[in-house]
Amino acid sequence: MRAVFLDRDGVITRSFERGGRPYAPRTLEEFEILPEAAPALRRLKEAGFLLVVVTNQPDVGKGEVPREVVEEMHRRLATALPLDAIQVNYATDNADPGRKPNPGMLLEAAGALNIDLRASFMIGDRWRDIDAGRNAGCRTILLGDGYGEIPRIAFDHSFATLAEAVDLILNPPPNP
């Protein structure tokens, strides 16, 4: 099975920039699914891709956001979007194997859903997403400018919008 792994904040939901850095919503009132997410994900689903959200949520681990709030956000995502799984990591320690840039969440989903990682994509808006996707063996797509952060591992493609990324996935250029 092929999959598209998606970061949550800044890819399918609104993130908040403070001081040039992105932050996850902290309340249900702040939580917003981006308008282009549903049509883009429906196109991928219709083409036979599994859709898996992989998200770091360290604010829970830091005690700044209740876990129940994040779980409700994910219930809303699962209701509104054609997702096959949502993988979340609450760790604050970058050494945690499930916390991006480590590939643990992608590897876990691949095992559970029989995903061929080499035929799959990781779409994210930060270097951690790109590194996690590459470390798992996926092709990678950076959305936006990465907030000025530089991926430690080169990404395969970069687009301004999720719709553009989906266009490439569904209509890849011919191999030279």
Residue 24's nearest CA partner among 120, 84, 81, 89 is 89
Considering 7, 59, 125, 131, which one is annotated as catalytic? 7
Residue 119 DSSP SS3? helix
In Å, how far are 26, 50, 62, 64 from 162, measured between CA atoms? 23, 16, 30, 29
Is 7 marked active-site?
A: yes
Rounded Cα distance, 43 and 99, in Å: 28
Q: Please, is 23 exposed, middle or buried when counting C-beta atoms within 10 Å of its C-beta (0-12, 13-18, 19+)?
A: middle
Considering 9, 59, 84, 131, which one is annotated as catalytic? 9
Residue 176 DSSP SS3? coil
Mutual orientation of helices 127-136 and 104-113 as an angle, nearest 10°? Answer: 50
Q: Which secondary structure element, helix H or strand E, spans residue 63, and what is its range?
A: none
Give the active site residues.
7, 9
